[in-house]
């Protein structure tokens, strides 16, 4: 099943926080295979939903 998780978080030199959400496939044993990166959880959720409908 496809899902997403936060994979990166950092603050740049101007004090702006950045977060990356990675969509990927979760195997039953917990193994995660990345598919794409997104800047918001909404974008990541939309992509995961799309992939799960294929």
Query: The tokens 């603050």 sit on which residue?
Result: 11
Tell me the pLDDT tens digit for each residue of 2-54.
Answer: 999 999 999 999 999 999 999 999 999 989 999 999 999 999 999 999 999 98
Quote the pTM value.
0.89
DSSP the chain: -EEEEEEEEEE-TTS-EEEEEEEEEEPTTS-EEEEEEESSHHHHHHHHHHHHH-
């Amino acid at each position: 099943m496809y899902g997403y998780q936060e994979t990166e978080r950092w603050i740049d030199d101007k004090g702006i926080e950045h977060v990356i959400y990675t969509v990927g496939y979760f195997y039953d044993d917990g193994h995660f295979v990345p598919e794409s990166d997104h800047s918001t959880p909404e974008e990541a959720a939309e992509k995961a939903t799309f992939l799960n409908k294929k």
